[in-house]
Amino acid sequence: MTGGIAVEWYFAILLMFGLLIVLMATGMPISFAFIFSCIIGAYLFWGGEAGLEQLAMSFYSSVTNYNFLPIPLFILMGDIVFTSGTGTRLIDAVDQILGKLPGRLSILAIGSGVLLSTMIGISGGSIGILGKVLVPEMDKRGYAKAMTLGPIVSSGTLAILIPPSALAVFLGAVAQVSIGRLLLAIIVPGLMVAALFVGYIIIRCAINPALAPDYEVPLVSFSQKLKTGLTQIAPIVLVIFAVIGSVFTGIATPGESAALGVIACYILAAIYRKLSWKTIRLSAQDTVHVTVMVFFIVVGSISFSRILATTGAISALTHWATGLNVHPIFLIIATQMILVFLGAFMDPASIVMITVPVFFPLVKALGYDTLWFAVISLMNIQLGLISPPFGLDCFTMKAIAPGNVTLGDVFRSSLPFMLLGFLSMAMIMIFPQIGLWLPNLMAR
Amino acid sequence: MKALRKAEIIFDKIIDYMLMAAAAIVVLDALAVSADVILRKVIGFTWAPLYEIITYSLLWMTFLGTTAIMRMNGHVKMDSLTSQLSPKTDALLNSITHCVCVLLAGVILFYTIKLTITDYQTNFVLASILNPPKWPIEIIIPIGFFMLFVQLIRNAKGFFEKYKSLSRREKPAVDHQVRGDKVSSPN
């Protein structure tokens, strides 16, 4: 780019990020805060009016990107499950199969959360379903808030870690990490987190049974359980194969697998006799709401990273950071601490758009695997959704919880699960193979 | 006043239709891509331009749907600080930020119109399988920003009216308090 003013790299970063954060703090829509910063940045660094024309051009190329296709489609899958009532049916089925266990309903929340996550691409979707179905039942059984709210909120965040994950696609597309490999790389960490949650519930309820009082579980014969499994849960295999299996076997690209996933969800809703025109229309409209929110941030923010790149700020920052006399892992930890901090205040899409242009070149320069970094970053962002003071999923939970539940209750209940999430993240930082072996298996 | 209200009703209808079109795009994308995968696997047929059309559809979906989201104030905000403000101050701040957004939308509207006209006049063609002229694809950007421009004005006006009504409600309470103070004054 020619004609712009030449400034020190740290001035460019300070100006662009400073302006963005101040505008965001005023409550301006984040997409417009990006557009404002871009107008100023384009005018200064891209050469006045020519820069603004260039900015207008970049709006066109912002979302005309085939890699973004899975985002609306993964979100649509979740909306079909939610609108059609398929999710409620699934919880009932898992409830029948699950035997007598300490903290049974809390485990039911996590188990159902995992299954719902195979069909729901965004966090928050399954919290709505689980919260409405399970909270009244848990309340009736005398479950403590810690065992009611925590498991539901935390299982909601699994939607980010188990494919289909719209945020994984978004991160992959922006960071230019293979989306197919990333979707496979998050499966084992996602299941590991779920297993840790279940383990924690069992141990805590065994130590203190008052948290989740025992109750008589209706006796269900093995043949009945088998029947429920085959008729109610087995059809989900169709969705899992459409989304994960098709990518793993190389039948479809992530975009195509998302489309197949949508069709599988329609078929599933039809099998359960829940498919109607109303379901199709409402789910599609809800999808547009969420997708447009994300894509409009992309419209504003793609130019933001381009402007920063053309000022030389990103490469200078990377050069500066790699020249520091510290072990590279401390820089990785620093990036994760920034994500934790941002996660407490911002929505995931904005965090991705702000940090990816800076973090990923740095990670590459430090010689780390960007796929591994994408996995731990996703886990971190997912934890931001349940972290105080502004974890979005906690607000969702508060909205559907009974009136006597305070936001403080929700945050306190989710805290142990958040710590378990950080523990899993640390394990993946130390043992990258937890995330990498499945995509490497596919490569073979 | 009546004409303005009628114009608003028509504007809202247009937004609704745009939202429906955006929703239809999502479903059609899913159906088309699935059909393509199945046809490719079953009879080895694939329609290559489909993927190009899908990328354009993402742009259209975004700009068709964005005004509906703005109408319901659904665009993501970082409201952690502003939620601490009183409703009156919050309404005033929202009104100001929306006025700034009107200006921004105006600037972008101007430059995207200029770009679309230039591409139309120079018959700019995209280098791709279909080689389509660019302007019919990008025209949705100025259309979207025009709709946003109008909607942002409505939002700014709405927030300002909220601010005024909250101020009015506060004023009698303050007057009453002042009168009460006088009555209950020990002197």
B105-123: per-residue pLDDT in tens? 999 999 999 999 999 999 9
Long-range contacts from A421-427, C-beta under 8 angstroms, 24+ separation = A421/A154, A421/A157, A421/A193, A421/A379, A421/A382, A421/A383, A421/A386, A422/A383, A423/A196, A424/A189, A424/A192, A424/A193, A424/A196, A424/A379, A425/A336, A425/A376, A425/A379, A425/A380, A425/A383, A427/A192
Nearest to B101 among A32, A293, A350 (CB): A32
Question: Between chains, do A35 and B108 touch, taking CB under 8 Å as contact?
Answer: yes
- Give the SS3 label for residue B2: helix
pLDDT exceeds cutoff 80 at A337: yes
Mean pLDDT of the region B68-97: 88
In a 3-state reduction of DSSP, which class is residue B125?
strand
Stretch B117-145: mean pLDDT: 95
Structure token pair of residue A136 = 């009244």
> Worst-scoring range by mean pLDDT, A116-120, A152-156, A335-339, B68-72?
A116-120
Mutate which of B37, B47, B71, B149 to disrupt the A interface (most A C-beta within 10 Å)? Answer: B37
**What average pLDDT does chain B have?**
89
Residue B130 forms contact with A (CB below 8 Å): no
Please report the residues numbered 50 through 89 in chain A whose beta carbons come closer than 8 angstroms to any beta carbon of chain B: 52-53, 55-57, 59-60, 63-66, 68-69, 72-73, 76
Name the residue facing A26 among B26, B97, B108 (closest C-beta). B97
Please name the member of A27, A76, A350 whose beta carbon is closest to the beta carbon of B97.
A27
Of residues B181 and A368, more confidence is placed in: A368
Q: Which of A372-376, B30-34, B82-86 has the lowest mean pLDDT?
A: B82-86
A70-84 and A125-140 helices, crossing angle to 10°: 30
Chain B residues closer than 8 Å to A346 by CB: 78
pLDDT at B176 over 80: no
- Asked whether the predicted pLDDT for residue A216 surpasses 90, the reply is no
pLDDT for position A3: 65
> What's the confidence (pLDDT) of residue B112?
96
Percent of chain A, pLDDT > 90? 41
pLDDT at A179 over 70: yes
- B106 in the Ramachandran plot: left (φ > 0), alpha (ψ -120 to 50) or beta? alpha
∠ CA A383-A387-A388 to the nearest 5 degrees?
A: 170
At A371, is the pLDDT very low, low, confident or very high (cuts 50, 70, 90)?
very high
Query: B81, B96, B104, B138: which to substitute to probe chain A, counting the most A Cβ within 10 Å?
Result: B104
Contact list in B for residue A258 (CB cut-off 8 A) is 30, 33
Task: Give chain A positions within 8 Å (CB) of B37.
Answer: 246, 251-252, 256, 259-260
* pLDDT reading at A2 higher than 80: no
Most confident of A297-301, A362-366, B79-83: A362-366
Say how far apart CA A376 and CA A428 lie, in whole Å: 7
| Phi and psi at residue A220, to the nearest 5° | -115, 125
Q: How far is B177 from chain A (nearest CA, A)?
A: 32
The residues, ordered by sequence, that sit 6+ positions from A385 with a Cβ below 8 Å of its Cβ are: A123, A124, A156, A157, A160, A343, A348, A391, A392, A393, A394
Mean pLDDT in residue range A144-148: 92
pLDDT band at B139 (very low <50, low <70, confident <90, very high): very high
- Contacting B residues, span 143-172, partner chain A, CB-CB under 8 Å: none
* B187 pLDDT tier (thresholds 50, 70, 90): very low
Tell me: pLDDT of B170 over 80. no
Q: CA of A56: which chain B residue's CA is closest?
A: B112
Please give the model's pTM, rounded to 2 decimal places. 0.84
Is a pLDDT exceeding 60 seen at residue B186? no
pLDDT for residue B177 = 56
CA distance B108 to chain A (A): 7
Q: Work out the minimum CA distance from B174 to partner chain A, whole angstroms.
A: 28
Q: Is the pLDDT of residue A158 over 80?
A: yes
- Residue A429's SS3 state is helix
Question: Which of residues 317 through 356 in chain A touch B, CB cutoff 8 A?
Answer: 345-347, 349-350
Whether A413 has a pLDDT exceeding 50, the answer reads yes
| pLDDT interval class at A444 (50, 70, 90) | low
pLDDT in tens, A111-121: 888 888 888 77
Residues A200 and A192: beta-carbon distance below 8 Å: no
Q: What is the mean pLDDT of residues A23-30?
A: 90
The per-residue pLDDT for A234 is: 83
The lowest-confidence range among A1-5, A19-23, A95-99 is A1-5
Which of A64, A287, A354 to mutate to test binding with chain B, by most B CBs within 10 Å of its CB? Answer: A64
Q: What are phi and psi of B133, to 5 degrees?
A: -65, 145
Q: Using CA atoms, how far apart are residues A126 and A153, in angstroms rounded to an integer? A: 9
pLDDT at B183 (0 to 100): 38
Mean pLDDT of B4-9: 93
Average pLDDT of the residues in A83-101: 81
